[in-house]
């Protein structure tokens, strides 16, 4: 019985690790907008092209940005999806996976260009949240993995 429980937990852990490493298995819909690729589990309601252009203009000012930089953005369908794919980022609007750079973001309202799903409750500009997450990914790419993991949050935000 102990072996069955152990192997069941091991299998569940492996499936969870696989979904963390390759969330595209769960997010079937894919839309490409210049440097950003949006992955969703359902078709998008609205056109995010304008928002993506604003986010690209914001991130293009960064000294870490290169024109060939590409960002994989996974849009959670709800709070449960966001909590599942971002176990250590519960109080944020977007989270960058420190190992592969995938950006998971709370569900946006594309008509209003806002995100409201984070526990903080206040609405934020979707393009600003997306640009901030892309900036974190650019910093992650410029550092060694362990150095990025131990980097203080205030240094990362700076």
Boundaries of domain holding 131: 23-157
What is the pLDDT, as a whole number, of residue 153?
61
Query: Would you give per-residue pLDDT tens digits along the chain (158 residues)?
Result: 888 999 999 999 999 888 888 888 888 888 888 888 889 888 877 778 788 888 888 888 878 888 888 889 998 888 888 888 888 777 788 888 878 888 998 888 777 778 876 555 678 888 888 888 888 888 888 777 666 666 666 555 55
**Given the structure tokens 């609205």, which residue do they identify?**
46
Count how many domains the chain has: 1
What is the pLDDT, as a whole number, of residue 64?
80
* Structure-token pair, residue 122: 């206040």
In a domain, 132, yes or no: yes
In a domain, 14, yes or no: no
Question: What's the CATH number where 117 sits?
Answer: 3.40.30
* Structure-token pair, residue 70: 């590409």
Closest CA to 52 of 123, 129, 118: 129
In a domain, 18, yes or no: no
Residue 88 contacts residue 16 (beta carbons within 8 Å): no
What is the pLDDT, as a whole number, of residue 83?
85
Cβ burial 116-150 (10 Å sphere, 16+ → b, else e):
bbbeeeeebbbbbbbbbbbbbbbbbeeeeeeebee
In a domain, 144, yes or no: yes
**Nearby residues of 116 by Cβ (< 8 Å), 6 or more positions away:** 106, 109, 122, 123, 124
What is the pLDDT, as a whole number, of residue 8?
93
Integer-rounded Cα Rg, in Å, for the chain is 16
pTM of the model: 0.84
Which secondary structure element, helix H or strand E, spans residue 74, and what is its range?
strand 71-75
């Amino acid at each position: 019985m102990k072996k069955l429980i152990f192997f069941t937990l091991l299998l569940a852990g492996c499936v969870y690790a696989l979904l963390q490493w390759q969330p595209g298995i769960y997010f079937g819909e894919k839309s490409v907008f210049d440097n950003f690729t949006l992955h969703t589990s359902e078709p998008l309601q609205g056109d995010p092209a304008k928002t993506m252009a604003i986010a690209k203009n914001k991130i293009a000012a960064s000294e870490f940005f290169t024109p060939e930089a590409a960002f994989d953005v996974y849009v959670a369908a709800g709070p449960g999806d966001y909590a599942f794919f971002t176990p250590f980022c519960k109080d944020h609007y977007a989270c960058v996976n420190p190992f592969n750079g995938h950006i998971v973001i709370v569900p946006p309202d594309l008509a209003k260009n806002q995100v409201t799903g984070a526990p903080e409750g206040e609405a934020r500009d979707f393009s600003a949240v997306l640009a901030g997450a892309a900036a974190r990914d650019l910093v992650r790419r410029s550092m060694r993995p362990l150095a990025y993991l131990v980097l203080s949050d205030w240094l990362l935000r700076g």
